A and B are shown apart, each in its own frame.
Chain A
């Protein structure tokens, strides 16, 4: 027990993945909650609509997977703003619905909102999506989870690299923050592993849900000669549909948008929250300790890729499957030197390699060579 905890603690300090109760990362334990029988109520809070074909739908699908577990009651609230609103929603779930385990799923819920509520209800468990929990800084009854979805983005990049004829890829992104930049870079590096001359044009829309700007950005990209587009916004529906209408390829994000683009959908980077939530709740019901920090990629089943669309060539499948197998074996490193940013500076020196769990990647503030765009807003 203590040995395991020591290892995990050190792992977290290094930002590494230890093997915890969930087979992913673990560090110090959470307050154990003995189940006194009866049903336990679990609350999910979403920042947007549950069926947005994107971020919130991915979480809602995960929550839906819990409904079949006996002794579990799932309650949900959508369109909850990252303000006092979410604090009161959490407290309302606690006070009026006797919720014991809470999942505020939006990144911006964490600080200060969830932390404030968690400090007030120390015997309840709060698990936040975003991977922000830090030992010693954040309360022990809180936790955070996130996935290395850029692994799946890398695979999308590989597939896109084969599909593109113009060698120009497009990326519609919300705002230039590390998580988004990492996806853009991994996508580009994946494509460049097929053909180093490939470029990715990025357009930032300035917000997480801006349908008209997203459509406009997609059209601008296509007018520039881009023939595969992907994105990092809350609801990719408009982007994938616009790409299909204009007859180019698209790669999805958050959830599968395959049904929106039967011809042009190549593959996509999807969350697999059903697995994460089921693992959490199973441990919780058994009264096991729940790790404060849970992270994982393809190998741990936190993220997955959409099934290949009809336009994906056999060659592309073979290459992508081979890389995926390496990810599954925990052998593949995306950020391996020498990598230059798009201003010509070396960001990862030759011989240096930042593996997936490396904390340095979490504060990424550059776009790799071959990406056309600027991280300043």
Chain B
């Protein structure tokens, strides 16, 4: 390994690399939540789904030796949580926000309960794809070690946009999200669509969790999630329910997470707690400036409880 001193250039490089590494769980959870919220439901339980996905993915990878099988199981487990959320919310008088918080608790609790035996073992991790072999610089090569899940997430962004805007199913989903009455009048099944979109959201959140345990940082522990799941839910509002903005916002949150350590690495050391809180402060400020008390939040699905 050669030593090349990049000096201050290492900060943007680290933020870039960190943005890619740290953003993937945000990206998956926010895309999933985006789908769910576009159908008019909010699922705050994705934090629990993420943690359970991380645990189940790791456990399956350890038990079967296949990390990809772990990702799949994490996704399936996530969609089961989504199904539970959807079925209960389909009943009248049930508050979707409260149920989300309940599922967060249950998902985390179950993951900790079942995950005790998997804290110690080392499970096979997901492979990285090296896109940086053209460079002589080790940090550049390392920054371009990109995980396939990030690329899948990247592909999902335009796919979801296409799905939402140009397919019949997407239209159905948006209609249900904007007006239940209109959807019923056309003959769409409001419950069916929401069940589907919550399950799909759960699937993506589970996969996002498996990224944490199977790639970065790459092992299961109870402190693995520091609220990425719930942050990602906030991020969807920040991103105005647009998958493309979800992608940018995920990169921003990921990069912000990498900024603190990167600045310390070049000697800027004070105030790291405040640096770590920067994404939250930023989101709040943006929400304050982009919301309005007189008209509805731009881009918000009409039936969504948080924007009413």
The interface of chain A, by Cβ under 8 A from chain B, is: 48-49, 51-53, 79, 165-166, 168, 201-206, 209-217, 219-225, 227, 235, 237-238, 241-242, 245-248, 259-260, 372-374, 376-377
Contact = CB atoms under 8 A, between A and B. Distances in A.
17 contacts: A49-B222, A166-B1, A204-B272, A212-B228, A212-B257, A216-B257, A220-B264, A222-B138, A223-B10, A223-B138, A224-B139, A247-B1, A259-B122, A374-B267, A376-B269, A376-B270, A377-B273
Contacts of A246: 142
B187 interface: no
Contact of A242 (B138, B217, B226, B269): B217
Nearest to A221: B265
B136 to A, nearest CB: 14
B272 A212 contact: no
A370 B262 CA distance: 19
Nearest to A172: B261
Interface stretch (B11-19, B40-48, B297-305): B11-19
3 cross-chain pairs, A with B, having the tightest CB-CB distances, nearest first: A215-B217, A374-B269, A223-B139
B3 interface: yes
A373 B226 contact: no
Contacts of B243: none
A217 B258 CA distance: 8
A81 to B, nearest CB: 13
B22 A216 contact: yes
A223 B14 contact: yes
B260 interface: yes
A202 B13 CA distance: 19
A209 B223 contact: yes
Nearest to B128: A245
B130 to A, nearest CB: 13
Contacts of A213: 226, 257, 260-261, 276
A237 B264 contact: no
B120 interface: yes
Between A203, A241, A248, the greatest number of chain B beta carbons within 10 A of the residue's beta carbon is seen for: A203
Given A166-B1, A241-B218, 17 more contacts: A49-B221, A53-B119, A79-B222, A205-B261, A212-B22, A212-B216, A212-B226, A213-B260, A222-B139, A224-B10, A225-B3, A238-B221, A241-B219, A246-B142, A373-B267, A374-B267, A374-B269
B210 to A, nearest CB: 15
Interface in B1-55: 1, 3-6, 10, 13-14, 17-18, 21-22
Contacts of B221: 49, 52, 209, 211, 235, 237-238
A213 B225 CA distance: 11
A220 B120 contact: no
Interface string B224-240: 10101000000000000
A238 B217 contact: yes
B1 A216 contact: no
A219 B17 contact: yes
Nearest to B262: A220
Interface residues of B, number: 47
Contacts of A248: 1
Nearest to B276: A206
B137 to A, nearest CB: 9
A242 B261 contact: no
Contact of B226 (A53, A210, A245): A210
A254 to B, nearest CB: 14
A223 B261 CA distance: 11
A235 B14 CA distance: 24
B92 interface: no
Nearest to B268: A374
B21 A219 contact: yes
A217 B271 CA distance: 16
Contacts of A168: 3
B144 interface: no
A242 B271 contact: no
A173 B119 CA distance: 21
B249 interface: no
B212 interface: yes
Given A214-B217, A238-B219, A220 B14 contact: yes
A233 to B, nearest CB: 10
Contacts of A204: 264, 269, 272
A118 to B, nearest CB: 29
Between A51, A220, A260, the greatest number of chain B beta carbons within 10 A of the residue's beta carbon is seen for: A220
A24 B20 CA distance: 51
Contact of B265 (A79, A212, A220): A220
Contacts of B266: 224
Contact of B14 (A201, A205, A219): A219
Given A238-B217, A242-B218, A376-B269, A216 B261 contact: yes
Interface string B136-164: 00110011000000000000000000000
A223 B13 CA distance: 9
B223 A210 contact: yes
A375 to B, nearest CB: 9
A373 B269 contact: yes
A248 to B, nearest CB: 7
B265 A201 contact: yes
A260 B139 CA distance: 23
A216 B18 contact: yes
A241 B257 CA distance: 20
A372 B267 contact: yes
B265 A203 contact: yes
B219 A211 contact: yes
Nearest to B119: A51
A125 B182 CA distance: 71
A202 B120 CA distance: 27
A220 B264 CA distance: 9
B119 A223 contact: no
Contacts of B5: 225
Contact of A222 (B120, B142, B212, B258): B142
A215 B218 contact: yes
